């Protein structure tokens, strides 16, 4: 079978347009503007780029964007207090804490403090557990994007063989679950896997 290039930029543009249309519909029907709060701790250059991009895309879709930039030495109790405030804020419908966090902070405790209904990264144990159980759940964006790209080439992934290289909580593990939910046959490989070339073949 010949290789086929997937034009991710075109698919992303179409997806952004659909999101903007849905935001406009929600505003008309309910008088409500969806709001995304992004929390950035520290000054990691890659994280700053991601946060700027998220802010720009959120606004372009017609949503409200709330940015919270905290110093790298912020106390855990202060960060937890901010998350609690965002959980209670009716204008905030999604919360994203940019990872990685400084080593002085307990990432698991921070993620667990986010209201599962506002956990847009899908990392809260409630969402990860629901996804693993084949139930409706918020899913991390990158693996969901992989499914969207794959289905742009194959309308159905049922019965197909898929290999996922990497087992991170943000990409590898949720992608495995999403592929299983599509009824694909999935192999997961990682840094300890033997003969990766053969597995991929």
Residues forming the active site? 54, 98, 121
Q: 139 vs 125, 142, 153, CA distance in Å?
A: 12, 9, 21
Rg (CA), the chain: 18
Q: Of 108, 110, 104, 97, which is closest to residue 51 (Cα–Cα)?
A: 97
How many whole angstroms separate alpha carbon 162 and alpha carbon 15? 24
Distances (CA, A) of 101 to 17, 51, 79, 128, 188: 32, 14, 11, 20, 26
Residue 186 dihedral angles phi and psi, to the nearest 5°: -115, 135
């Amino acid at each position: 079978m010949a290789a086929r290039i997937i034009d991710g930029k075109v698919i992303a543009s179409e997806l952004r347009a659909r999101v903007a249309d849905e935001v406009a519909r929600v505003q008309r029907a309910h008088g409500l503007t969806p709001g995304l709060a992004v929390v950035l701790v520290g000054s990691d250059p890659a994280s700053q780029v991601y946060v700027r991009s998220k802010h720009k895309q959120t606004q372009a879709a017609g949503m409200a964007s709330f940015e919270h930039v905290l110093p790298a030495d912020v106390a855990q109790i202060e960060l937890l207090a901010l998350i609690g405030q965002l959980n209670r804020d009716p204008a905030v419908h999604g919360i994203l804490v940019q990872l990685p966090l400084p080593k002085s902070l307990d990432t698991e405790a921070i993620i667990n403090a986010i209201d599962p209904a506002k956990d847009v990264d899908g990392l809260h144990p409630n969402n990860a557990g629901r996804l693993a159980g084949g139930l409706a759940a918020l899913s991390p964006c990158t693996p969901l994007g992989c499914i969207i790209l794959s289905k742009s080439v194959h309308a159905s992934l049922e019965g197909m063989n898929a290999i996922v290289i990497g087992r991170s909580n943000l990409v590898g593990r949720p992608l495995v679950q999403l592929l299983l939910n599509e009824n694909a046959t999935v192999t997961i490989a990682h840094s300890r896997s033997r003969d990766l070339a053969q597995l991929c073949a």
